[in-house]
Copies of this chain bind each other. A is one copy, B any other.
């Protein structure tokens, strides 16, 4: 591993691929030595390429570095990635099965990927692997109002499914920030969350059944189509969030809900201190209120949004809370008023509720613009994803501020406040190695703090490569051993996305 290998995008930008070996990846049998010195595939790789080309047609395979490049990594800027043997762009379950079976025989790693919007490096190439892209499997096979379910291929984009469901008066709730681009397959592989999971649950809560290609290249169906079912262990649930390490998902059956009545009430409050803000969040939960969205953005984000769009947000506020309630009227009004009262009672300096859609949109702009506004700063951005017990959020926010100070790292935080799920975004000047080291230290300190507070190192982004060390700290050796027993049971040769997650 070279220094450059840890720099985002370094691997392929100047045409001389840098070899990156992700921690823990078992290279042994699976890669020809010739691949590792940059001279191209060795005999095992060449034979596999020939086999895949014959089976799938040459158009399904990408080997040219320029066409392969967009596939080698996800959006985790700091995660390492390697040089794949090729990209397979599967069009069908049969394509996937053929690919995995061939890789299994050749003992070549398979790294499945959807849209590559992940933030933990889970879809990053490992050296000599076949990158198995599901992006072309975009069919929505069925939407049933009578069964309240949809059957989709893994490459269906989240927003596309939402639109198709809405046309039938149905709703697929999981709404990660990546919804305009990310795929249902990727959402399932990482158990994606989003804004409205505070009330409506995460991806796992919606997966009924999966068609999966096993590590041996067999096609199996797990889960069920019925509303209920308790036959055997919940293999579908086990696959959700497994980041491509237990099987390749080729079809997904998801539960749907009836579409919601529109026109939510929006409530906002600015707070002078993080402690007040945390107390307001706690009060909303304790009072049994159930906002459908409950978000936080901190001072750094407010400043960045102002700088980008001259938004006129009060920059002396420590944080802004944003909530939406979607009950039927007049319960929605009552809930909005109760949330507003909780904000005011806990020190909100400015607080208001609105049902006006334009106004609500303006109020939510600070949340919606957070990422693009921070990107305008032109710095490297490392996204954290810790989640703590809800009553400890204020404490975690204070620790993040302190960690930023101690390590001299600029940290902007957005949070799914109602879930205790925080995304501190660490901003680092490009090309500043010392700043980079400080950021790494801050990243580790945030993880340690979250675990100390009874939290988890990843609330919704997944372990991928970035959280492997944190995961080991969180789970401990006994549970890790159980996790690895699952992996060994379903992928004994370790060909599925090796070195990721467990």
Contacts and interface: CB of A to CB of B under 8 A. Distances in A.
Of A201, A204, A228, A470, the most chain B CB neighbours within 10 A belong to: A228
B288 A230 contact: no
Nearest to A281: B146
Contacts of A228: 193, 197, 202, 387, 416, 419-421, 456, 459-460
A226 interface: yes
Interface in A439-488: 454-463, 467, 470-471, 474-475, 478-480, 482-483, 485-488
B230 A191 contact: yes
A233 B241 CA distance: 7
B229 A240 contact: no
A475 B329 CA distance: 45
Interface residues of A, number: 89
Given A327-B328, A479-B222, A230 B460 contact: yes
Interface of A: 144-148, 169-170, 190-191, 193, 197-198, 201-202, 204-205, 214, 218, 220-222, 224-235, 237-238, 240-242, 246, 258-259, 282, 285-286, 288-290, 327-329, 331, 387-391, 416, 418-421, 454-463, 467, 470-471, 474-475, 478-480, 482-483, 485-490, 501-502
Leading 10 A-B pairs by shortest Cβ distance = A258-B288, A328-B331, A489-B489, A229-B456, A227-B419, A485-B489, A146-B391, A228-B459, A237-B237, A226-B387
20 contacts: A144-B391, A145-B288, A148-B390, A193-B228, A197-B228, A202-B228, A214-B482, A218-B478, A226-B455, A227-B420, A229-B456, A230-B458, A231-B456, A231-B463, A232-B502, A233-B486, A234-B237, A235-B479, A258-B289, A488-B489
Given A231-B471, A237-B237, 17 more contacts: A145-B285, A224-B456, A226-B420, A226-B456, A227-B421, A228-B456, A229-B458, A230-B462, A232-B471, A233-B241, A233-B242, A234-B241, A235-B486, A258-B288, A259-B288, A328-B328, A485-B490
